[in-house]
């Protein structure tokens, strides 16, 4: 193995500096090529070039950088660092190739390699196949059920105005129902009127208003999406969760149509043996309103801890669209005359349904990003 002599630096002009460092780089590359990928020779090469006591790089520092005039030390330092990076990377790759050779993974090595080259002889890495997140899977399943019944999919912004999120849905400023939805609002909007202030939507219902403003009846839409409320995180609550809402508006729509639609949807989702029942409730944007319960999918209605031994699980809310809601969109779509048309709406929490279907006890697992949890659904 030749013992490279470091050339002398005759002057400090840019041209001379370029020639000096290029010649050293060429000398290193020549020596590395002569090692032939043999681990012992590569180790000797490393000591000879980057050794702390007598390495060539140390000699360059002692004989060139330290003795150079102050005005050229910056230019010298830049070129020296570039040389050092090149040698360090080349040594690392040469050592890696030598290890591969010694362990028998490959018998081919190029005479010289650059830091960004690819060794096509190495065994490949099989990419893993992704699967739907349980929330996405559940949401798509619900949406698919209603699409097969003729519903289209509606979407809308997650950052909404107070008007679309509350006022147009019959939530006046002093309505007590606003207190049940702890809203996350955008800061520094005191200069705006209340209806124009921005917030993170607390439900996907604003999409119902936006859709009716754009489209005259009849309408049949299902609205999946993310919503936000200022809820403290625990096993059953999260400040971020998902909903699927539905809206059907046409002539002669009745509560019987609502009951038949939801009964069919629940049977599609949980099985044909599931039963539904409706209890009077209250929502500002529907009248009459109802809570929907399904027979317990865990015990078949016999009573268990999951259903609190009642045999029933409360799952969603629904009702006939309040005429006041139709009035709020008549300025843009005169076809929503409550004397001529009617409609129903419903909404359900996707997270809770996903937890029921897949036996998940803590809603936080759905948002943790923990691969150990998610791989169970692969």
| pLDDT tens-place string over residues 109-153 | 444 444 556 778 888 877 777 888 999 999 999 999 999 999 999
- Degrees, nearest 5: CA angle 53-59-62: 105
pLDDT reported for residue 107: 41
pLDDT confidence tier of residue 7, bands split at 50, 70 and 90: confident
Helix (H) or strand (E) holding 321: strand 312-321
pLDDT reported for residue 2: 54
Phi, psi angles (nearest 5°) of residue 92: -60, -45
Cis peptide before 288 (omega within 30 of 0): yes
Cα distances (Å, whole numbers) of residue 195 to 56, 154, 179, 252, 278: 74, 23, 17, 32, 34
Joined together, the tokens standing for residue 129 give 């196949």
Among 319, 156, 184, 164, which Cα is nearest to 243's? Answer: 156
pLDDT reported for residue 163: 93
Q: How far apart are CA 238 and CA 259, in angstroms?
A: 30
Among 223, 255, 237, which Cα is nearest to 348's? Answer: 223
Q: How far apart are CA 103 and CA 174, in angstroms?
A: 76
SS (H, E, C) 51-98: CCCCCHHHHHHHHHHCCCCHHHHHHHHHHHHHHHHHHHHHHHHHHHHH
More confident call, 254 vs 7: 254
For 269, residues 6+ apart whose C-beta sits below 8 A from its C-beta are 141, 142, 145, 353
Q: Are 224 and 244 in contact (CB under 8 A)?
A: yes
- 248-279: per-residue pLDDT in tens? 999 999 999 999 999 999 999 999 999 999 99
Joined together, the tokens standing for residue 112 give 């010289």
- Degrees, nearest 5: CA angle 374-377-378: 95
Among 55, 110, 122, 57, which Cα is nearest to 86's? Answer: 57
Q: Are 135 and 76 in contact (CB under 8 A)?
A: no
pTM over 0.75: no
- 45-89: per-residue pLDDT in tens? 888 888 887 788 888 888 888 888 888 888 888 888 888 899 888
């Amino acid at each position: 193995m030749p013992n490279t002599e470091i050339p002398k630096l005759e002057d400090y002009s840019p041209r001379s500096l370029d020639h000096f460092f290029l010649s050293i780089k060429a000398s290193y590359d020549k020596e590395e090529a002569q090692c032939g990928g043999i681990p012992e020779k590569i180790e000797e090469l490393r000591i000879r070039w980057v050794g702390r006591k007598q390495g060539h790089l140390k000699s360059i520092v002692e004989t060139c950088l330290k003795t150079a005039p102050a005005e050229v030390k910056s230019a010298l330092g830049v070129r020296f660092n570039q040389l050092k990076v090149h040698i360090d990377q080349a040594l690392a790759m040469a050592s890696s190739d030598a290890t591969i050779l010694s362990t028998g993974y490959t018998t081919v090595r190029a005479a010289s390699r650059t830091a960004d080259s690819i060794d096509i002889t190495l065994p490949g890495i099989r990419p893993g196949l992704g699967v739907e997140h349980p929330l996405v899977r559940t949401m798509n399943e619900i949406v698919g059920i209603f699409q097969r019944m003729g519903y289209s999919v509606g979407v809308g912004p997650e950052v909404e105005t107070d008007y679309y999120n509350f006022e147009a849905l019959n939530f006046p400023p002093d309505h007590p129902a606003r207190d049940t939805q702890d809203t996350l609002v955008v800061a520094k909007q005191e200069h705006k009127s209340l209806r124009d202030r921005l917030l993170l939507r607390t439900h996907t219902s604003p999409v119902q208003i936006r859709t009716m403003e754009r489209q005259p009846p009849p309408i049949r839409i299902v609205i999946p999406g993310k919503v936000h409320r200022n809820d403290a995180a625990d096993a059953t609550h999260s400040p971020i969760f998902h909903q699927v809402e539905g809206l059907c508006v046409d002539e002669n729509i009745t509560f019987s149509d609502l009951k038949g639609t939801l009964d069919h949807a629940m049977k599609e989702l949980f099985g044909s043996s599931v039963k539904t029942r409706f209890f009077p409730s209250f929502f500002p944007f529907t009248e009459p309103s109802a809570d929907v319960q399904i027979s317990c999918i865990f015990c078949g209605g016999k009573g268990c801890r999951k259903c609190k031994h009642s045999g029933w699980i409360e799952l969603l809310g629904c009702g006939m669209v309040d005429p006041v809601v139709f009035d709020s969109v008549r300025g843009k779509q005169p076809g929503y005359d409550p004397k001529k048309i009617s409609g129903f709406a419903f909404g359900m929490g996707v997270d809770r349904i996903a937890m029921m279907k897949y036996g998940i006890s803590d809603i936080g697992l759905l948002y943790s990003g923990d691969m150990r949890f998610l791989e169970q659904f692969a």
